Structures are given as structure tokens and as C-alpha cells.
Structure 1
Amino acid sequence: MIYNKNIRERIIDTAVERFNHYGVAKTTMAEIIQTVGISSATMTLYFSNKIELIAEIVKHTLQEEREQINRLIPKGMRVLPSIYKLLEIRERTRGKYNHTQLIYGYDGVYSGLPESVLTMIKSADVKQLTLILRRGLRSGELKDFPLQSIATLYAELLYGLNLGANARVCRMTLSDCYNPEEIVEKQKEISKIFINGLRQPVNNFSLT
């Protein structure tokens, strides 16, 4: 078989379209194969299972984020504006998958994703924040702290806000539900408090 980039793109586009309409869990590889108009043997040349296909879509999204971060967040930008810009970039790149249940599922943020893909997303989140916080440390804008631990904690904080704003969780907790744009604004509010705290000198910093 000859590898065809156009077929690969059609598979991905079809998968996203069906995920958007039916959800990830209810979409089968057989349906994608039928819609694209290829054989099962041809599909295995590109993706052997749905997990590989999902992982590729997520990889593409994260790559798009990296490119926008490199282009839109210059090294000299201060920490808080950089964080705000990062959150806006994430909303644009991941927001287009809101209805696919791929990045944000109805049962919770990232629900139903394979562990390998979930790890990929969370690792990217921490790396993005680590990059910005490291710049703040090097410039002297932020005081000394355990970078990796704080970046991980910060990523979990933002993740928790997304989870709490999820529609199903909102109904369970009777809290207000937010649309994606409102969630970003809430993340910015939390970020302002978090980053301002890191600007203060801390003695014997510990997470325990």
C-alpha cells in the first residue's frame, strides 16, 4: 500500500466530525471507515485503533498550541500577561473540540480518554506553565520556589476549575455553570491570585 497524506487527513476530519455529532464513545472505527470510503486494511495503514486516532488528534491540537505560544508569547512578556495569553490560546485550540467529548467530556474534563492521552495532555499543560514560570524566575519577577512542583500544582488548579465548571458537575454541586469564555475569565482571576503569591518572598517553601 502507498501512504497517502490526503487519506490520513480525511480520516482525521471524519473522526472529528463524527465525534462532534455522536461523541467519542459512540463512534466506531467501522463507521469512520465507511464514511471515508476505505477498506479496513487501508485504515490500519494509518491508525490501527481508535486510541491511536484520538491520540493523533490530541497531538495535533497540542502542536497547534505550541506554535501559537511560540508566536504570541514573547520571551520578554511578563508572567501574568503570558498566562492570560496562554489561557486564551488553549480556549481557541481546545474549544473547537468542546462538543466532541474529546478534550472535554460530558462526565468531566477529559472523561473517557485513554490514560496515555490524558497523560499527554496534562504533561503539555505542566510544560507550558513551567516555561512561563521559569522565565519569571530568571527575570526576577517571581521569587524562588520549587518550579516543577508549583507548575504541577498550578496545572491541577486550572484543571479543577474546568472540572467544577463542567455541566454535569455543576448540576450535582448546584454551582454556577460557565461557558468556555467565562471559564477562561475565572482561570485568569485565579491566576492573578496565584502569580501574585509567587511574587512574594517565601522562607523554607514547602508543599507539605
Structure 2
Amino acid sequence: MENQDKKRLLIIEAALKRFAHYGLAKTTMTEIAKDISFSKALLYYYFPDKLTLYVTTIEHLMQVMSRDLIKSIDKTKTSTEGIIKLLQKRQTYIQKYYKLFESNQVIGQDLPNGLSEKIEKAKAFEAMVVNSLFNRGIASGELSMDNPKLVTEVFMNALTGIHFDIVLKHRYVFPDKDHFKQIFLKERLFADVFMAGLQKK
């Protein structure tokens, strides 16, 4: 890895810790620079402002999450185990990096350039993983379905519905940690019932 790349990664990792602990609003570029003994000028050389660094940090975390998810799912023996693992991993990262994700709502509708696109890519990646698990289940004889792509779409739509049901009931723009736990419990129950219905008779 080039020296410049190492410095950039050090900044991103330091920012991730700060954003995860304090959120976007309460984190300053000065604090991030101090954490890694960099000058503030060097920080601004790599990232022109805090929002640009925030977007890059989100992207970095999504890449880490994606690699971790694939690695974990590859170790599961069945598609059903894989689906449950996906939900568990997602919940773990939400709890650990809650303040980082919550900052999206602090920014509001004016999301920085590229962030909305990255979030959509993350959702598409998750759908792709679910679809691959369904196809794996069909190939192994575990699951039976005619249209895995459509079943994936229905499954993902239902998860979104569970999320928004909690949000609307409690009138939160962004659920708190306890509400995310409620969401996970409902997602887990739904996944158990859904996957049981797909089991090959």
C-alpha cells in the first residue's frame, strides 16, 4: 500500500471511531487529526470538508460490512441459516455504529453527493446476497420456488415494511437502539416463517 493510501485509511478509520461514538454533529476535523497526530492541513489535503470525510467513512464501513457478511454467510450450512446470519450481522452493525447511521437523519434531505447512491448500492447488494442464498437453497434441494428473483423482492419489501411499521408507530424519523432490537425480533420471526414456507416438501 502506498504511503498516501495508508494515511488516507488512517484518517478514515479515525473518523469512523469518532463518528460512531459522537455522531457527525459533535465530531470535528481537529479532533480526528489529533487522534492520529496529523496536522489539520493534512486532513484537509485528503478531505476538503467533514461531510466528504463522512461519506467516505460510510462507504468504507459498507465495504467492511459486505466482506464480513459474505465471509459469515459462506460458513453457514443452509440458506435459512444464511438468511438469519444476514439479519444478525445487520443488527450487530446497526447497534455498533448507531450514531454514524443516525447522522444521516441529522443531515436531513440534503444528503451529500454520492451518499444516497451508496445507500442504494448497499440495499442492492443485500438483495443480491438474499437472491444468491435462495438460489443456493434451490440447488441443494433445501428450498422450492419458481421465481427466486420475485421471491427476493417480496422478502426485501417485507423487511422494509417491518422497519417502517415501527417507525410510524413511534413517530421517529430514525429508530433508537431499542426500536432496532424490536425490528430485528420481528424480522427474525418473519424470516423463520417465510423460510419455512419455502422448504421443499
TM (norm. structure 2) is 0.71
Between the aligned partners of 1:75 and 1:7, the Cα distance in structure 2 is 32
Distance 2:157 2:103 in 1: 16
1:87 maps to 87
1:171 aligned partner: 170
> How far 1:156 moved relative to its partner?
2.7
Question: Residue by residue, what CA displacement relative to the aligned partner does 1:21-79 show, whole Å, maximum 9, x if unpaired?
Answer: 2x44x368xx3256415345x44543345554344333333333333334333466122
Contact 2:142–2:200 (CA<8 Å) still a contact in 1?
Answer: no
Partner of 2:129: 128
**Number of paired residues?**
190
Distance 1:18 1:66 in 2: 20
Equivalence for 2:186:
186
Over the residues paired in the alignment, what is the CA RMSD in angstroms? 3.7
2-structure distance, mates of 1:82, 1:13:
32
Matched, 1:32 2:29: yes
Judging by fraction of residues, say which structure has more helix. 2
Checking the alignment, whether the CA contact within 8 Å between 1:94 and 1:103 is kept in structure 2 is no
- The one-letter amino acid of 2:159's match is L
- Contiguous gaps of at least 5 residues in structure 1: 202-208
TM-score (norm 1): 0.69
Kindly provide the amino acid, as one letter, of the partner of residue 140 in structure 2.
Answer: S
Give the alignment of 1:60-79 within 5 angstroms: 60-74=60-74, 77-79=77-79
Q: Which residue does 2:196 correspond to in 1?
A: 196
1:117-146, Cα deviation, whole Å (9 max, x unpaired)? 221221121122122111111112222332
1:58 partnered with 2:58: yes
Taking the TM superposition and a 5 Å limit, the aligned residue runs for 1:149-168 are 149-166=150-167
CA distance in structure 2 between the partners assigned to 1:103 and 1:128 by the alignment: 26
3-state DSSP of counterpart to 1:144: coil
Deviation at 1:4, TM superposition (A): 5.4
Q: Give the match's secondary structure for 2:145.
A: coil
Contact 2:13 2:57 (8 Å CA) reproduced = yes
For structure 2, the residue ranges without an aligned partner over 5 or more in a row are: none
Output the CA distance in 1 between the equivalents of 2:165 and 2:106. 12
